[in-house]
Amino acid sequence: MRLLLSGFEPFGGSDRNPSRDLVETLLGEPMPGVDLQTIVLPVETETAPARLLDAWRSHGSDTIVMLGEAAGRTAITPEVVAINLRDFEIPDNAGRTIAHRPVVEDGPAAHFSTLPIASITDAIRSRGVPSVRSLTAGTYLCNELMYRVLHEIAITGRRTRAGFIHVPRLPEQCTGSGHPAPSMSLASMAVGIRAAIETLRDTAREPG
């Protein structure tokens, strides 16, 4: 399996992003049967999708897994669908705020993940890490990235599996505020995402 794994830089005033940390961690842990390429993307509308699509074309990946941080979540959450809407609650890292605009003009209302969501969530849970499917990727950069990648795959007719997985914040990001917030250790997240990748590798080998 030729896998392209992406994460995001920190944003929203934080100096950490678990998706970036996961990409760096997993790059140092080779998996049999996985040709892994990683990329850490800027939290900037337009720029992030363009860089990921360029990496996909260069690498010839047959599977794309996009990772991102979701504050407030208590589990690793594979996303089912991306919607054609950009509606930012906070500016991106370039200072841009976009409200009530489509990701792609005249694009379909939504694109669905082509990853085996049920198998991935089951595999993560089997390793003792909480995981549930999610029906909303939000309306910020995570949703935009997922939508643009799936849209490009759809219009080009490439047989590439792709989808987005959100992870909770790190405990280090949730201290000091005086208000308890959900988090998960990087070690647990790495176990979960590794289980997801192994599932993708094994399902890619299945006939049909």
DSSP bridge partners of 150: none
Read off the pLDDT of each residue in 26-47 and give the average, rounded to a whole number. 95
Q: Which of 98, 81, 1 is nearest to 43 (CA)?
A: 98
Q: What is the pLDDT of residues 43-98, one digit of tens each?
A: 999 899 999 999 999 999 999 999 999 999 999 999 999 999 999 999 999 999 99
What pLDDT does residue 208 have? 36
Confidence of residue 175 (pLDDT cuts 50, 70, 90): confident
Which residues are known catalytic residues? 79, 142, 166
Residues of the chain with pLDDT > 70, as a percent, come to 96
Positive or negative, the CA dihedral 146, 149, 151, 153 is negative
Q: What is the mean pLDDT of the chain?
A: 95
What pLDDT does residue 204 have? 83
Read off the pLDDT of each residue in 160-188 and give the average, rounded to a whole number. 91
- What are 202's two structure tokens? 């094994």
What pLDDT does residue 207 have? 38
Positive or negative, the CA dihedral 39, 41, 47, 53 is positive
The domains located in the chain, with CATH, are: 2-204 (3.40.630.20)
What pLDDT does residue 1 have? 96
For 22, residues 6+ apart whose C-beta sits below 8 A from its C-beta are 7, 67, 167, 186, 189, 190, 193
Contact 98, 43 (CB under 8 A): no
Read off the pLDDT of each residue in 155-183 and give the average, rounded to a whole number. 90
Confidence of residue 178 (pLDDT cuts 50, 70, 90): low
18, 19, 105, 151, 176 from 8: Cα distances, Å: 8, 6, 25, 20, 23
Q: What is the pLDDT of residues 195-205, one digit of tens each?
A: 999 999 999 85
Contact 189, 22 (CB under 8 A): yes
Query: What is the C-alpha separation between 113 and 202, in angstroms, rounded?
Result: 18
